[in-house]
Amino acid sequence: MIQLQTIGRFSPNHGARPEPARIDMLVLHYTGMKTAAAALERLCDPRARVSAHYVVEENGVIWRLVPESRRAFHAGVCCWEGESDLNAVSLGIEIVNPGHEWGYRAFPEAQMTAVERLCRDILSRHRIPPYRIVGHSDIAPDRKSDPGELFEWRRLAEKGIGLWPSPAAELTRRRGRGVGVVERAAALADLARIGYCVGAATVQVAVAAFQRRFRPERWDGLIDSETRVRLKQVREAVEAARTEAEAARRRRYN
Ligand SMILES: [Zn+2]
């Protein structure tokens, strides 16, 4: 394996993981600041109390700010699969992009390649199942929209990083058409089984987070027929991956 090139820089913003330590989740972010320098500055500023394990610049340079054994402060108030202290169990990667506030733009090739390498390196060292590789907006849909609809989840999945089942060809014909009450309830059940924590007041933002990730052409938060079908597809992929992870775990202990 090629040694991953990273540059170390110290961030004081980290803490101990609870014992016994478990790292089984990967959270991807965008920095959402005007420049990479400003983002690095903030992630290392003791007053800001925020950090991430890694920062990936647009030119592909990877910064290492917090050791993986330590808890970094990147997730904030969040929830996934019913669990809310996700900093305790995750690694966080900040991907430099001005974000929706300062001029959201495509992630350049050099940056995507670096993200890919970094993720693969992490996955070679930690047992992180594909359904626990998420975007910040997946775990905090009411507050966050990063890494956003331009992030290439599909490309990562093709390299074995996270889930992105190929949509059926019929899907796009159903965009915009509403669904009935029963289908809507089924859609919300699927959303929860994928891992999203959905409350009565957060349905639309959670659906929008799902769409940014799995149907990025339209992220209006409305459950149209296409979204309904896509939810079912992703839920099935997640359940298959869970079954597989469970079987692998049993093999290890037998
Ligand atoms: Zn974030």
Query: In whole angstroms, what is the distance from residue 154 CA to residue 230 CA?
Result: 14
Q: Say if residue 215's pLDDT is above 80.
A: yes
Query: In whole angstroms, what is the distance from residue 45 CA to residue 51 CA?
Result: 9
Tokens found for residue 244: 């597989």
> 232 by DSSP, 3-state: which?
helix
CA Rg, the chain, in Å?
Answer: 18
| pLDDT for res 2 | 61
Tens digits of residue pLDDT in 137-162: 999 999 999 999 999 999 999 999 99
Token look-up 């929008």 returns: 208
Those residues whose beta carbon sits under 5 angstroms from the ion ligand 1 are 29, 136, 146
| pLDDT for res 157 | 97
Question: What is the DSSP secondary-structure string of 13-36?
Answer: -EEPPPSSP---EEEEEE--SS-H
Q: Say if residue 228's pLDDT is above 90.
A: yes
- pTM here? 0.96
| Distance from Cα 78 to the centre of ligand 1, integer Å | 11
Q: What is the 3-state secondary structure (H, E, C) of 137-150?
A: HHHCCCCCCCCCCC
| Distance from Cα 252 to the centre of ligand 1, integer Å | 34
| Distance from Cα 174 to the centre of ligand 1, integer Å | 31
Torsion angle of C-alpha atoms 87, 155, 189, 91, degrees rounded to 10: -10
| Distance from Cα 4 to the centre of ligand 1, integer Å | 23
| Distance from Cα 74 to the centre of ligand 1, integer Å | 7
| pLDDT for res 177 | 81
Known catalytic residues are: 94
DSSP β-ladder status, 54-56 and 62-64: antiparallel
To the nearest whole number, what is the mean pLDDT of the chain?
95
| Distance from Cα 225 to the centre of ligand 1, integer Å | 29
Reference 134, options 209, 192, 55; nearest CA is 209
> How many degrees, rounded to 5, is the angle at CA 77 between CA 71 and CA 82?
90
| Distance from Cα 43 to the centre of ligand 1, integer Å | 12
Q: Say if residue 203's pLDDT is above 90.
A: yes
